[in-house]
Amino acid sequence: MIRSVVRGFGAALPKRVVTNQELESKVDTSDEWIVQRTGIRQRYIAGEGETTASLGEAAARAALDNAGLTAADLDLIILATSTPDNTFPATAVNIQNRLGMHHGAAFDVQAVCSGFIYAVTTADAYIRGGLAKRVLVIGAETFSRILDWSDRTTCVLFGDGAGAIILEAQEGEGTIADRGVLTAKLRSDGAHREKLYVDGGPSTTGTVGHLKMEGREVFKHAVGMITDVIEAAFEATGTTAEDIDWLVPHQANRRIIDGSAKKLGIPLDKVVVTVDLHGNTSAASIPLALNTAAADGRIKKGDLVLLEAMGGGFTWGSVLIRW
């Protein structure tokens, strides 16, 4: 059986760090309020010249270096983003060109905070289908540019950044002992679209728009939806929460992360948390967290790693990977 094995990983963050204390001087909020409700203490905000493409390129180069590969070794680039550099062409094509890659293909995937899960699932399908041998999967966002900085309920939550992994086709035995992607589960339900959305777009307003969110409604649905796709992953592989070495969730809110882990019976010391450092970076949050935990030695070769996310749409999904 062909498996999609993680060959390399990398990440990139903007230069500027914005603390909760700095936001206190701009909107009616406090460090205590933000930390208590979200767990966020700081976030990175893109400055002049820093874009989704530039951050994505930097993360891609870091992943290629980690893997000991070059762009010539890639067949495909999939970028998960909700904040592209342009309406078109795809920002993935921009990154492809920046890397000096003039072969293969590149495209964007848009599933908001679940984007990286959708992109990994798509890459795995390409690899298992024999359409690609190596796929660069990137999650990159500049969410700061779609925020209403006068809205204290949303502007404190989000940040910018990029993370990337390289998936490579390798032979497996077809068991859960194989390295690589073992299963992926995707869901969506457009009935919830108005609970988390951007109030603009080329076809409607002709503007970029700003992020709008019904925070309580998102929170209410999050834990149940996340649990749904994780339990589906367990059923598909015959695994249980006890088998998981690391849970790497979408970094939106510490209370959602803790609530999901508790409901699933996964100890908090097996959960990778970076929301305090990065805030919610949408499609970039899982690869940023993966990079952090793999770089510091927590995630090791052979570990069973569970990824999960929920985002606007609503979209949600899980991926189970043996590192």
| pLDDT of the residue at 143 | 98
C-alpha 284/C-alpha 13 separation (Å) is 10
**Nearest CA-CA partner of 251 in 199, 293, 216:** 293
* 75 conformational bin, left if phi > 0, alpha if psi -120 to 50, beta if neither: alpha
CB atoms under 10 Å from CB of 202, counted, come to: 10
E-assigned strand segments in the chain: 2-12, 16-19, 42-45, 76-80, 105-109, 134-142, 160-171, 180-188, 196-198, 211-213, 246-249, 304-311, 315-322
The three-state secondary structure class of 272 is coil
Q: Please list the residues that pair with 319 across neighbouring strands.
A: 184, 307
CB atoms under 10 Å from CB of 315, counted, come to: 24
Known catalytic residues? Answer: 113, 250, 280
Q: What is the value of pTM for the model shown?
A: 0.98
Structure token digits, residue 308: 């999960």
The whole-angstrom distance between residue 287's C-alpha and the CA centroid of its chain comes to: 5
| pLDDT of the residue at 267 | 97
DSSP label at 204? Answer: T
Strands 42-45 and 16-19: antiparallel
Question: What percent of the chain is predicted at pLDDT more than 90?
Answer: 100
| pLDDT of the residue at 126 | 98
The whole-chain average pLDDT of the chain stands at 97
Per-residue pLDDT tens for 68-113?
Answer: 999 999 999 999 999 999 999 999 999 999 999 999 999 999 999 9
